[in-house]
Amino acid sequence: MTQLSTSMFLLITLSLLGFGCGQVDDDGDGFSVGVDDDDDSTPPEPEEGAVLAYVEFTRHATFEVTAASATLLSSWFSPTLVELRPPTPSDSDSCESRTIEDGSYALPSSDLDVGTPSLMSPSGASLGSEFVSPFWVNEFDSEDWESHQEYEVVVTGGSDLSASSFPGALVTPAALTITLLEETEEGLNLEWFGGNNNGDIELRLVQESATAGSSSEWVVCRLTDDGVAALSAEYFSNFALGEDVSLELLRSTSANFETEAGVPGIAAGIATASWSGWFDVFGSDN
């Protein structure tokens, strides 16, 4: 189990807004995949001894920065249930404030031999990865990200899993860009491109303690993806004035896939938009 810093953790999400089992396509070749954007769905618990794959393809954009990047992250491990972050509120357009002890976030490392994982884009481009302990990971230009497309997950094979490909296992949502971030005495106003008023989006704000081994302050929101939100200053009462806050907005899709041997996996397409800075108006100087 590898402990993660909050900054790296913000890019890794095993528990997503669209995580669960949905429509299944099984054409008899031993492969099936279910895609779901039902916020009430929950992931199935893996059977003991099964191999579990986690594959994430994320497009990152930063507020007021024109360049964007894309990251492929893959982890293949024996299943371990972990709590990665404060849960997203169940109701749309609602937020919760949480204080979380540092060091409580973890993700199982890639400890199974499956060969090299990669993605095949809809246009036929191969997006490879390299093992950077404890994950398979690679950075790409944002042009490698195609919104609303199905990518094929591929592994070259090893002692724990034979060479395999999973067509359509990873589906990408629309790219995400923050267009307004405004602090007022009443709270925080936020606007973003790509809102379709057709689902939910997640917002996370984290302020790490300046004291190592202490705790972090979180605000976690589920927002209607209509491109605009206003957060009350009361959610930030535990934040300290003048200390950096990391903000990340996430739009996500996910799917469960399975090999003919019953090996389960999870593939997530995630679009993020981020900002880092400090608040001048709300928070506490205590």
State the 10-residue block means of pLDDT for the chain, 286 residues long.
30 36 29 34 46 87 93 84 70 90 65 91 93 91 92 92 91 94 92 81 88 78 94 90 91 84 82 92 67
Q: What pLDDT does residue 286 have?
A: 55
d(CA 153, CA 164): 8
182 in Cβ contact with 188 (< 8 Å): yes
Q: What pLDDT does residue 251 have?
A: 94
Q: What H or E segment, with its residue span, contains residue 6? A: helix 6-9
Rounded to the nearest angstrom, the gap between the alpha carbon of residue 81 and the centroid of all alpha carbons in its chain is 16
d(CA 109, CA 78): 9
Q: What pLDDT does residue 114 have?
A: 87
Residue 190 forms beta bridges with which residues? 181, 229
Tokens read off for 57: 């393809």
Q: What pLDDT does residue 84 have?
A: 52
d(CA 120, CA 183): 41
Q: What is the model's pTM?
A: 0.79
Radius of gyration, alpha carbons of the chain: 19
